């Protein structure tokens, strides 16, 4: 069988762990498989390189930043190949560019356009284990080295699995799989043995850090089964895969609960109640290249002929958004812009809610009984999200987890690091 295995930074944090991972890879090869490994940078290397760049230059050019960051994955790839060779197996490391990962030219956030894995295929046919530096590629137009966004080694792995027609893609991290909630918050969170692409997409899009969002999108589009598991144990993890109707029937009402502390809320106070005002406001936000998440509009606290509009966005875009809104304040004629980053989003997710009424009521009742006030609400067909005070995020996750009967007896195992 042909398999792709991806190991995250916490699985290769030092020389000892690199040797341990090497042993695991050789075992897969010895079992008769063709093995392609995608590797992240060691431990916190990427963050350290970013710090270093900051010390040298406050505003480095994105091209040079990508040259720098791709070195992290290149280091771990070469070291891993050496460790495997010392175990008596043959391994060869490749940069993303050598592996044929062709991308757009957007430094720091490039998209994979195509994979031309000629060199990988010939190395495999010569019996080698192939190690590919994750999270990077080469721009189709400029031929410069690019990176695919933080955490994107997952995406490299799934994209390679699709291009190489691998049987499946294993993503190794420091937790046992995808859990019904973050085990650091909910001790009784359970490992989900199998989850459909749709549920996984919603969880990843709403703060579950176990898998990179774009990797799940890719897996769904190319129908690549993904096995998320721990490199620190041999236990089975979570299979992310296409769930057919029959599997769907066995699905619980709620699959899992995600939370996100990285958003902020902006309230625009006293917007004149006229046609086109919302369009003008969000045009200003869009022109500043800012993605928004939830939006709520209601009658202004101060003036019956005005509305308040609140929306959420990434905290990292906060300053930019405020500047953009202040710039149009006089023209549009609203009174104030209020910024609050002391918020968090909690989302219950499950394809099971499609066919069951009462999920929203049950979630909100649980929050009420825990004394938690809801700031904003948004829903999709398979998700209910609320914005709450940041201090109440943990309690809201626990309340939802209990309310939907997800609590288990035993405690989840968390080995190390960040859950990546
Ligand atoms: N090393 C990169 C990061 O830390 C990519 C990855 O780990 O997937 O974001
Ligand atoms: Mg990393």
Helix (H) / strand (E) containing 239 = strand 238-241
Residue 87 pLDDT: 98
Measured in Å, residue 46 CA sits from the centre of ligand 1 at 6
CA distance 317 to 140: 29
68 C-alpha to ligand 1 centroid (Å): 13
Q: 315: CA distance to ligand 1 center in Å?
A: 20
Distance 339 CA to ligand 1 centre (A): 30
d(CA 145, CA 167): 29
User: Ligand 1: which residue has its CA nearest to atom 6?
Assistant: 151
Q: Residue 91 — very low, low, confident or very high, per pLDDT cuts 50/70/90?
A: very high
What pLDDT score was predicted for residue 418? 42
| Ligand whose nearest atom lies closest to the CA of 151 | 1
Does residue 15 come out as left (phi exceeding 0), alpha (psi in the -120 to 50 range) or beta?
Answer: alpha
C-alpha 44/C-alpha 335 separation (Å) is 44
Q: What proportion of the chain, given as a percentage, has pLDDT over 70?
A: 95
Q: Is 40 in the pocket of ligand 1 (CB under 6 A)?
A: yes
Ligand 1 closest atom vs CA 149: 9
Task: Tell me the CATH class for 2-174.
Answer: alpha beta
Nearest atom in ligand 1 to 135's CA: 5
Model confidence pLDDT, tens digit, residues 355-410: 888 999 999 999 999 999 999 999 999 999 999 999 999 999 999 999 999 998 75
Ligand 1 binding pocket includes 72 (Cβ within 6 Å): yes
Ligand 1 near 135 CB (within 6 A): yes
* Contact criterion met (CB below 8 Å) for 230 and 280: no
Q: How confident is the model at residue 420 (pLDDT cuts 50, 70, 90)?
A: very low
Average pLDDT of span 164-185: 95
CA 148/CA 110 separation, integer angstroms: 5
* pLDDT tens, residue by residue, 182-227: 999 999 999 999 999 999 999 999 999 899 999 999 999 999 999 9
Atom of ligand 1 nearest to the CA of 40: 7
Residue 150 CA: which ligand 1 atom is closest? 9
Residue 42 has pLDDT above 90, yes or no: yes
SS3 92: strand
247 or 399, which is more confident: 399
The predicted pLDDT at position 104 comes to: 97
How many angstroms does the Cα of residue 71 sit away from the middle of ligand 1? 11
| Model confidence pLDDT, tens digit, residues 130-156 | 999 999 999 999 999 999 999 999 999
Residue bearing the CA closest to ligand 1, atom 9? 150
Structure-block tokens of residue 51: 């710090």
Q: How far is the CA of 370 from the centre of ligand 1 (A)?
A: 37
Distance CA 302, CA 371 (A): 27
DSSP 175: B
Q: What is the mean pLDDT of residues 2-8?
A: 97
Whole-structure pTM value: 0.90
Q: Which atom of ligand 1 is nearest to the CA of 153?
A: 8
Q: Cα(310)–Cα(294) distance, rounded to whole angstroms? A: 8
Q: Which ligand is nearest to the CA of 73?
A: 1
- Quote the tokens at residue 108: 């720091």
Ligand 1 atom closest to Cα of residue 9: 7
The pLDDT of residue 245 is 57
Q: Tell me if residue 75 falls in helix, strand or coil.
A: helix
Closest CA to 91 of 76, 78, 73: 78
pLDDT surpasses 70 at 414:
no
Closest by CA position to 344, among listed 297, 376, 317: 376
Instruction: Please tell me if the CB atom of residue 43 comes closer than 6 angstroms to any atom of ligand 1.
Output: no
According to the model, what pLDDT value does residue 412 have?
Answer: 53
The rounded Å distance from CA 152 to ligand 1 centre is 6
Name the residue of 6, 39, 41, 158 to mutate for ligand 1: max ligand atoms within 8 A of Cβ.
Answer: 41
**153 C-beta closer than 6 A to ligand 1:** yes
pLDDT of residue 205: 94
Domain ranges of the chain: 2-174
Over the stretch 285-344, which tens digit does the pLDDT of each residue have? 999 999 999 999 887 776 678 899 999 999 999 999 999 999 999 999 999 999 999 999
- Tokens 């219950």 belong to 348
CB 45 within 8 A of CB 9: yes
Residue 342: CA count within 13 A, CB half-sphere: 4
Ligand 1 atom with minimal separation from the 148 CA: 5
State the pLDDT at residue 415: 47
CA–CA dist 116, 119 (Å, integer): 8
Identify the band that residue 112 occupies on the pLDDT scale cut at 50, 70 and 90: very high
Note the ligand closest to the C-alpha atom of 76.
1
Cβ pair 363, 213 in contact under 8 A: no
Burial of 398 (0-12, 13-18, 19+ CB in 10 A): buried
DSSP state of 12: G
Q: How far is the CA of 356 from the centre of ligand 1 (A)?
A: 39
- The encoded tokens of residue 117 equal 């894995």
CA of 181 to the centre of ligand 2 (A): 22
Over the range 171-192, which residues count as b (16 or more CB within 10 Å of their CB) and which as e? bbbbbbbbbbbbbebbebbbbb
């Amino acid at each position: 069988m042909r398999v792709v295995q991806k190991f995250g930074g916490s699985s290769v944090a030092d020389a000892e762990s690199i040797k341990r991972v090497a042993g695991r890879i050789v075992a897969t090869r010895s079992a008769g498989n063709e093995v392609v490994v995608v590797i992240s940078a060691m431990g916190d290397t990427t963050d350290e390189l970013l710090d270093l760049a900051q010390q040298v230059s406050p505003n480095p050019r994105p091209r040079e930043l990508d040259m720098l960051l791709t070195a992290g994955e290149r280091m771990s790839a070469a070291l891993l190949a050496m460790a495997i060779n010392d175990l008596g197996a043959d391994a060869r490391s490749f940069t993303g560019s050598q592996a044929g990962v062709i991308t757009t030219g957007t430094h720091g956030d490039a998209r994979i356009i195509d994979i031309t894995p000629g060199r990988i295929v010939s190395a495999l046919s010569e019996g080698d284990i192939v190690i590919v530096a994750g999270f990077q590629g080469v721009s189709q137009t400029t031929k410069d080295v690019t990176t695919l966004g933080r955490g994107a080694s997952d995406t490299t792995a799934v994209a390679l699995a699709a291009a190489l027609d691998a049987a499946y893609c294993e993503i190794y991290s420091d937790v046992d799989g995808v859990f019904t909630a973050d085990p650091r918050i909910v001790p009784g969170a359970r490992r989900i043995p199998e989850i459909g692409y749709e549920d996984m997409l919603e969880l990843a899009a709403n703060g579950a850090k176990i898998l990179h969002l774009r990797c799940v999108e890719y897996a769904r589009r190319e129908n690549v089964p993904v096995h998320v598991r721990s490199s620190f144990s041999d236990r089975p993890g979570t299979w992310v895969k296409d769930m057919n109707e029959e599997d769907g029937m066995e699905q619980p009402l709620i699959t899992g609960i995600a939370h996100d502390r990285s958003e902020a809320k902006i309230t625009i106070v006293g917007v004149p109640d006229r046609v086109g005002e919302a369009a003008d406001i969000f045009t200003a936000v869009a022109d500043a290249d800012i993605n928004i998440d939830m939006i709520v509009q209601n009658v202004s606290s101060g003036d019956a002929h005005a509305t308040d509009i609140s929306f959420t966005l990434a905290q990292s875009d906060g300053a930019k958004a405020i500047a953009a809104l202040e710039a149009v304040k006089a023209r549009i004629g609203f009174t104030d812009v209020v910024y609050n980053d002391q918020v968090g989003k909690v989302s219950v997710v499950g394809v099971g809610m499609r066919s069951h009424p009462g999920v929203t009521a049950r979630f909100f009742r649980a929050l009420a009984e825990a004394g938690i006030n809801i700031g904003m609400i948004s829903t999709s067909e398979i998700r209910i999200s609320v914005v709450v005070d940041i201090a109440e995020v943990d309690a809201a996750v626990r309340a939802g987890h209990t309310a939907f009967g997800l609590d288990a007896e035993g405690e989840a195992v968390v080995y190390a690091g960040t859950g990546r």
